[in-house]
Structure 1
Amino acid sequence: MQDLPSMIASLSRPSLLVGAARFGVDEYERNRCLPRLLHMAAAPKPGQAILKLLEIKADLNDKRKAKMADYAIARHVEVLIALMGEARVLRMTSAPLRVVT
């Protein structure tokens, strides 16, 4: 079993989608975006959010590859933005404290 940062790092994402998501990640607001994307009343913890976002991303990627009519590129980009934002939050909250002497 991989840890969350390793799971995120190993994702295969089309460069066009990633490029589009990078434009939105600085404006990402987890308390506004996550409840809507995950159909929840409130934003879960970053680890939980990442796991749910990975599931949604996998489903969207399957639809994209199958060229299904209900695939929405805008939703795919939104999910990637949230995934990048949550990865950033996870890195910030789980980084070890360093003492400078």
Structure 2
Amino acid sequence: MTAMPNVIAFRAPPTGTPLRRPRVLISAARAGQSSWRRERDLPRLLRSDGCPRPGIALPRLRAEEARMNAARLEAAAEYDLHRHVTLMIAILAEMRQAVEDAPIAVDARAVEAARQAADGLARITCRETTNPAHP
């Protein structure tokens, strides 16, 4: 009999300040996730020759998006709604990639306790688990 440890491993949440943006902007960014192609779109958005490794571009994208959001709040003439939505699409995609690539945080003591409990369960035989009052 094999027993699996009763340990659930959760990925660590990404660190950083949360984005607070208008609902329509976030909805547009979520809708654009299906057409996002990292290798095609990220170099164009960052105005670079190549595509950086996952996680490297996120601070730069967040800084550029913060500048765009400031321009939006000021109703500046240089505000580009299309670029802002594209930046939000990229940020959501990069954050998703960072969470997927993050190592799973597991408490070693919990794993060892679960392993010992599983070993103890494996030693129980049918005779020990039957109730003599109910043959």
The TM-score normalised by the length of structure 2 is 0.64
Runs in 1 of length 4+ with deviation above 3 angstroms?
none
SS in structure 2 at match of 1:87: helix
Residue aligning to 2:29: 21
Residue aligning to 1:63: 71
SS in structure 2 at match of 1:6: coil
- Identity score, percent: 35
The structure where helix makes up a greater share of residues is 1
Quick one: which amino acid aligns to residue 71 of structure 1? Answer: Y
Out of 77, 82, 87, the residue aligned to residue 95 of structure 2 is 87
2:52 is equivalent to residue 47 of structure 1:
no
Residue aligning to 1:36: 44
**Number of equivalent positions:** 94
Q: Specify the structure having the higher radius of gyration (Cα).
A: 2
Unaligned stretches of 5+ in structure 1? none
Taking CA–CA contacts closer than 8 Å with sequence separation of 6 or more, which of the two structures ends up with the larger relative contact order? 2
2:7 is equivalent to residue 7 of structure 1:
no
> Aligned-pair distance for 1:97?
8.4
Superposed CA RMSD in Å reads 1.9
Farther-moved stretch of structure 1 (51-60 vs 25-34): 25-34
